[in-house]
Structure 1
């Protein structure tokens, strides 16, 4: 099933949205995991600091005890250096541990117990050192032998080792959490990359399928266009032949109808002459017969026959105008159009001058707004178009107000638009297209005409490559708009004129 452009657009948008969501999810997960990894890393660093401080405290206590034992045994003050270092640094180390465990009540309680034991141990060490300094070495040795200091030191080792064990376990837990976060981050990135890769693959597949379908559709359209152009060319040729045949048929029929019509009109003229003779004869006969005997003859001679002849005359006259119009349209359809440069301002001024005398009767006016764009087209056809439209505007002015007709022209999208605007009777909306049909008229039929002029105007305009439209409202006036190409296309060229022609 071919992929439609709507389906392609919607699917592409969905894939892009899914890709964007996947990317946002990867970024969000990465940020969260990085944050968690940072927290676990801080926990490891903190635990390492507390372990280092705890181990340092135990080492200082052991150094102090070693220095005290050496001094008691040898009375050599050189052994007091570790003792003095311990006595100075142990309070600092305890304070550091309190700061590191601030906020952890359990650990602070452990530190306080260790601090008490450390104070007790340092007190025992200080007492023995002072005994040696005062020369009471035996008392100092006896104090050591009581094992009071050993018990305190053993308790200190047990508490500090327990604390260090707890810290080691917390370090292991934090390190494990850090590894887990790193692993989770890696898997999240891998999963997100797979999702994006799948979405990208889907987009590529969709694009390839749509492109293939589009290429196939274009090839099919090109083939259809080629066959369509051939069919159009065939139909155009058929229509041109049919149009020529119709025009020839119209010409022949009109010509054949005209011959008997001329006979009918001729015999009608003879009957009119004979009617004068008959009427004189009936008038003279009435003088020779009794009154009332020639009533029927008089009625026939002076009423019935004249009425019948008037009807025949009007009908043949109308038929003669129709046949002449058909012959005119047939000749125009077969006439070869010749392109030449036309000064539209001069042509429209001439058309306006030809109807000026008709407008003077009701104080009317006709104005040609200049400048008017010139055109390269068939002069006779253009003259007939604007001559008919100007005559039509004058013919259907409203006698209730002074007539005003304005003719103007302008460029419009590469073409030329000419307007003939009047303030006449106007045309009903339902008749805007009907007036361009052959033998159709609109409104009150109080003006001579057969309904051929506007049909002829539109036919000529379309032969020139343009069209004629109308915009009108009853009681307000009418605007006829003539759209024509700036340059003739496909016409025969007058001497010295280059004409554009279409190529296929």
Structure 2
């Protein structure tokens, strides 16, 4: 089943979110487990320090007892050195044990009892040493033989062993929890890695499948495009032939219409000449007052027939103008375009100069934007297009304000250029924005001469140049004509299969058009 682009996007986002969630879980769990491991490590170190303090206190107590016994057995003062050193350090060691085991409630009683035992043992040992030093050895030995000191030491050993055993158990528990934490860290990392690997593998698989589909689709498109270009050329040639047939038909029709029109105009002139003779006869001969038929003939010759001939002549002139407009459009469609490099600013300045005197006389101004680009197009067509647009801006100015015309250009994507001709004239109603480009259609008050072919001719020329023309206008506020053109006409002509450098050929039909 083909994978759609939307499915790829959704699956990619889902895979990303899943991978991100897995990575977040790994990171969060890792931080927590590392924190727990640190806690257990610090706890193990604290317990080891507690055990070390207990062991050191037990060693010091044993050292004091060893020094006492050596002195009692030998009477040598040198045996008292370990005793004195251990006794000197016992107080600080006892305080250290109390401090380190302050957070261990179960050992509090044992610590207190050990302190009592040490105090009692030290008293007993100090008494025997003082008796020995005084030469009363038998009394010192008698105190030793009471076994009170031995009992205290055995009790102290049991308490030390119990507290050390408790410390070692706490160390073992801490190590076990630390190992469990490390194990959890291992499994979480492994599981997260598996999830990430699975997500990456799934995304990679989908990307590979989708890429294969794209490659297959591209091959199909290339296969279709291989024949499409030929079909486009064929259709373009067909359209060109159809357009030529339409232009030829328009040319033939207008020529066929002009022939009877010329006859009508000629016979109208003859009728006018004949009527002049008749009017002259009536003026010379006069009309009998009692002859109504002669009066009707005089009225027909002097008033009715000239009026009818005037209507005929006006209609024939209008029809002649329409025929000329059609011929003009037909000629424009058949004209061979000659692309050349054109300074658009200079061309527009020249077009503006031709109407500048009218603008100045009306108290207005015309402004051409500086820095206009260079284009490759047909100079004659551009001159006619912008000349017509500027003429319209002057012709349809508003009588309520001085005319202002501004011409500028902006670049568009696809190597296009939009030239805007903006005026503050009478404007065009919204419902007429499209119809003003139709042949023989005009908008607004018909107070200016014309047949309604100007903008239709402009649109035909612009489209012949590979562009289009649109407008934006508000009634009573002004109009902006937007001419969209290719920056290089040669590319448009090549894409349409037209030879841009083919010179115009002189044909009998061209000669007939000019005649």
TM-score of the pair, normalised by structure 1: 0.81
- 1:463 is aligned to 2:464: yes
> C-alpha distance in 2, partners of 1:453/1:143?
141
Rounded to whole Å, the distance in 2 between the matches of 1:416 and 1:127 is: 117
Q: Deviations over 1:147-178 (max 9, x none)?
A: 33333233222222222222222222122122
- Any conservation in 1 of the 2:254–2:323 contact (CA below 8 Å)? yes
- Tell me: CA distance 1:355–1:162, structure 2 relative to 1, closer, same or farther (3 Å): closer
Judged with a 3 Å threshold, the aligned counterparts in structure 2 of structure 1 residues 482 and 45 are, in CA distance, closer, same or farther, namely closer
Shift of 1:130: 3.8
Change (3 A) 1:420 1:47: closer
* Cα 1:31/1:386, change in 2 over 3 Å: closer
Answer with 130-139 or 157-166: which moved more: 130-139
Moved more, 178-187 or 299-308: 299-308
The answer to which of 462-471 and 76-85 deviates more is 76-85
Match of 2:429 in 1: 428
Are the equivalent residues in 2 in contact too, given 1:339–1:493 (CA < 8 A)? Answer: no
Residue in structure 1 matched with residue 258 of structure 2 by the alignment: 258
Residue 94 of structure 1, CA deviation: 2.5
Match of 1:446, SS state, is coil
Residues 356, 365 of structure 1: 8 Å contact kept: no
Further displaced range: 339-348 or 467-476: 339-348
Q: How many residues matched?
A: 493
Pick which of 225-234 and 282-291 moved more: 282-291
- 1:474 aligns with 475
Cα distance in structure 2, aligned partners of 1:349 and 1:112: 111
Task: Measure the CA separation in 2 of the matches of 1:357 and 1:115.
Answer: 122
Distance 1:156 1:370 in 2: 108
Shift of 1:258: 1.9
How far residue 450 of structure 1 moved from its aligned partner, in angstroms, is 1.6
| Structure-1 residue corresponding to 2:124 | 124
Specify whether residues 410 and 89 from structure 1 end up closer, same or farther in structure 2 by C-alpha distance, changes over 3 A only.
closer
2:446 aligned with 1:437: no
Counterpart in 2 of 1:272? 272
Matched residue of 1:492: which SS?
Answer: coil
Q: Distance in 1 between matches of 2:62 and 2:369?
A: 118
> How far 1:368 moved relative to its partner?
7.4
Q: Unaligned regions of 5+ residues in structure 2, if any?
A: 494-499, 505-515
* Equivalent runs, 1:268-307 vs 2, <5 Å: 268-279=268-279, 287-288=287-288, 290-307=290-307
Secondary structure of 2:448 counterpart: coil
Distance 1:363 1:28, change over 3 A: closer
**How many angstroms does 1:249 deviate by?**
0.8
Equivalent residue for 2:25? 25
Compared with structure 1, are the counterparts of its residues 293 and 165 closer, same or farther at alpha carbon in structure 2 (3 Å cutoff)? closer
Q: Secondary structure at the match of 2:451?
A: coil
Q: Does 1:52 align with 2:52?
A: yes
- The residue aligned with 2:511 is none
Using a 3 Å threshold, how does the CA distance of structure 1 residues 472 and 139 change in structure 2: closer, same or farther? Answer: closer
Give the structure 2 partner of residue 37 of structure 1: 37
Deviations 1:126-164 (A, max 9, x none): 334444444444444443333333332332222222222
Structure 1, 118-127 or 168-177: larger mean CA deviation:
118-127
Aligned ranges 1:85-100 → 2 under 5 Å: 85-100=85-100
Gap regions ≥5 residues in structure 1: 496-504
Q: Which moved more, 1:480-489 or 1:116-125?
A: 480-489
One of 468, 492, 499 as aligned partner of 2:501: 492
Which residue number in structure 2 is paired with residue 229 of structure 1?
229
Aligned to 1:447: 448
- How far apart in 2 are the matches of 1:289 and 1:463? 68
Deviates more, 1:49-58 or 1:61-70: 61-70
Tell me if structure 2 keeps the 8 A contact 1:373–1:416. Answer: no
1:501 corresponds to: none
SS in 2 for 1:336: coil
1:21-76: CA deviation from partner (whole Å, max 9, x where unpaired): 43343333333323322332233233333333333443444454455445545545
- Check the 8 A contact 1:373/1:409 in 2, yes or no: no
Q: Match of 1:195, SS?
A: helix
Distance 1:132 1:354 in 2: 141
SS at the partner of 2:102?
coil
TM-fit CA distance, 1:320: 2.0
CA distance in 2 between partners of 1:336 and 1:53 (Å): 110
Comparing 205-214 with 372-381, greater Cα deviation is found at 372-381
